[in-house]
Structure 1
Amino acid sequence: MRINTLALAAASAAVVMLAFPAPVRAAPAAAPHKCEGGESDSRGRSSVDGSEITWDDVSKFDDARKHAVKAWTAGTLTKVKIKADGATSYADVEWRDANSVTGKWRDVYGKWAPQHGTDHLLLNRAYLDNGKRMGTDEHRRRVAAHELGHALGFCHKSYGTGMYPSLLWAEYGHISGKKINGPTETDVKAYHALWG
C-alpha cells in the first residue's frame, strides 16, 4: 500500500484543527450615541480621569450634588467611580455656583465648563435659589444630574421628546415636563455604549 504523504499531512492538520474550538470573539461594543449637531458622546470630551471623577465642592447646593452623584452611580452605572476629592488626589471637577441672568447665562440653569485642569460644574443661583423661578430641590437635582452627565462625556441628545426620553435633552422644559430626575433607560444604554 502506497501512502500519500501530502494527503496524510492534510488529514492530520484537519484533525488538529477540529480538536481545538474556534476562538470566541467578543461582541463589538455599541457605538457612542449621537447628539445634536452630529457629534457623538465622547470619553475625550469628559471630566473622567482613567475610570473615575473626583470632585470638590464649593456650591451651596449640596443636596443637588448628592442626588446627581447617586443618580449616575446607581444600578449598572458602575464603570466610572464618582467620589469626593481626597488628600492624595486632584479634583477632576469642582461644583461651583454662578449668579447671572445676562449674556451666556440668560435662561441657563447650569453648565459643565471644561478647563485646563479642574473642570467646573456650575449651578446658577439666579434661577435655582429658593424663591427663584427654578428654586426647588426637584429642579436643582435635575439640573445637577444633567450637568454631571456632560462631565461623564454625554452631549445633548436629539432623540426627540417622544419615544426616547433623556436627561441629556438640551431643552430643560422637556426634561422637567417629563419629570426626568436621573438617567433614563436610553441614557443608561448610552452610558454602557461609552463606558462599557
Structure 2
Amino acid sequence: MSNLVAGLAALATVLLLAPAPARAAVAAPCIATSGSDATETREDSSVDEGEIRWTASTKYKAEYQHANRAWSYSGAKIKIAPDSATTVNDLNYEDFSDARNAAAGVWSRHPGIAATDLIRFNKARMDTFDAATRRMVAAHELGHALGLCHKSGSGKNAVESVMWPEAARYPDVPTDVDKANHRRLWG
C-alpha cells in the first residue's frame, strides 16, 4: 500500500510540474473599421488560383526574398513563386521615392484581367532603416498582398504581428497570430 501511495504522490508531482498544453493561436481582428483594411477577404489580395506569381524591379532584393521565404512557411496554403513565361504575373516589387510620404512600403491592388498588383518600397524611407526594419516592411506588405489587414500592437486587442501598421520593431516573420489569420482566410 505504501508503494501505491508513493507512486501516486510521484505521479501528482509530475503532473503539477508538467507544462500546460499549448493553446493554438487565435486569429486577430482588423483594427480599421472601414475601407479595404477593415476586413480580410480573398478578393482583396494578390492571390490568383492559390498562388502569387511575382516579378521584381527593386533595389531591395534581400528584403523581398526574405518576405517570400517568411510567408512560405510550412503549412502555408498560398504558393509564392517567381513569374515565368507560362504563368500570369500577380505582383511586382518596385521602388519609388517621396520624402513627403511617411509610408516605407505600400501594397496596391489593381483589379482586372491580367492586372499586376504592386508592392512599392519608398526609397526615401527604406534607405534610412537598418536591414531588419527593411525586412519587416517587406514581410508586412506581402501580408497585405495575401489579404491580411493591420493588427493592433496596443490596447485590449494587442497581439504580436507582422501586420502592425507602424514600421517599428515588429516581427519580420509571420507570428502564430498571423498564421492563424492566414489559415482562417485560406484554409
Q: TM-score, normalised by structure 1?
A: 0.73
SS at match of 1:160: coil
| Count of residues in Structure 1 that have an aligned counterpart in Structure 2 | 154
Q: Give 2:97's aligned residue.
A: 99
Among 66, 71, 88, which residue is 1:90 paired with?
Answer: 88
1:163 positional shift: 5.3
Q: Give 1:19's aligned residue.
A: none
Amino acid at match of 1:168: M
**Residue 168, structure 1, aligned to residue 159, structure 2:** no
Structure 2 unaligned blocks of 5 or more: 1-25
Q: Give 2:124's aligned residue.
A: 126
Cα distance in structure 2, aligned partners of 1:61 and 1:122: 10
Amino acid at match of 1:119: D
- Give the CA RMSD over aligned residues: 1.9
Cα distance in structure 2, aligned partners of 1:48 and 1:151: 7
1:113 positional shift: 1.0
Among 111, 134, 144, which residue is 1:140 paired with?
Answer: 134
Q: Give 2:109's aligned residue.
A: 114
Percent of matched pairs sharing the same residue: 36
Structure 1 unaligned blocks of 5 or more: 1-30
1:108 positional shift: 0.8
Among 122, 125, 150, which residue is 1:156 paired with?
Answer: 150
SS at match of 1:37: coil
Q: TM-score, normalised by structure 2?
A: 0.77
Name segments (4+ residues, structure 1) moved above 4 Å: none
Q: Give 2:61's aligned residue.
A: 62
Cα distance in structure 1, aligned partners of 2:103 and 2:186: 28
Provide closer, same or farther for how the CA distance between residues 159 and 190 of structure 1 changes in structure 2, counting only shifts above 3 A: farther
1:74 positional shift: 1.2
CA contact (8 A) 1:33 1:193 kept: no
